[in-house]
Amino acid sequence: MLSLTVMGFDAEPEFVTEILRIEPTSVRRKGDAGRTGKPSRSSGWHFDVHAGRLTDGQQHEDALAKLMARLRDREVHFARLHSEVRPSDVGIYGGMYVPANGQCGIWLMPDDMMTLARCGVAWDMHLSVDD
C-alpha cells in the first residue's frame, strides 16, 4: 500500500479535503470508534494511491509517481494545512513485502524529495518479509 496520510488533528476531515483539494479514500473523525472499539482521540484523513501489497521497487515507483503528481505545486495548500489544521503527522505511508531470499530497492528522486520537503510531508516505508 501507499497513501498520503494526515493524522492527529481535531478539525473535521472535510476541512482537510477542502484545503488540499484532494478527495480522500477514507477518513476518521475524532470520537469515532477505532480498531479497538475505543473512541479516536483525533481525526485522520487518507488518500490511497495503491491499496494492495507492493512487492517490488517498480510498483513503489509507479505508485509514488501518482502521488507526487498530486503534491506538485500544492505547497501553498500544505502550508495552509499545517497552519490551520495543525496535524501531528502529514506523511506518505507505505509497506512493501519483499521475498526472504530476494533483493528489492526503493528510491526517491531529488525533485520528489524537494516536493515533500516544501509540502512538509514525511516519507515512511515499512519493509516486511513476504512468507
pLDDT per position as a tens digit, 37-58: 889 899 999 999 988 888 877 8
Instruction: Name the residue range of residue 82's domain.
Output: 2-130
37: left (phi over 0), alpha (psi -120 to 50) or beta: left
pLDDT, tens digit (0-9, with 9 covering 90-100), for 71-125: 999 999 999 999 999 999 999 998 888 778 877 777 889 999 999 999 999 998 8
pTM of full prediction above 0.85: yes
| Model pLDDT, residue 34 | 77
Domain count within the chain? 1
Cα 107–chain centre separation: 16
| Alpha helix (H) residue ranges in 6-123 | 13-20, 57-71, 75-80, 110-119
- In sign, the C-alpha dihedral spanning 71, 87, 4, 129 is positive
Q: Which three cell numbers stand for residue 118?
A: 516544501
Which of residues 20 and 106 earns the better pLDDT score? Answer: 20
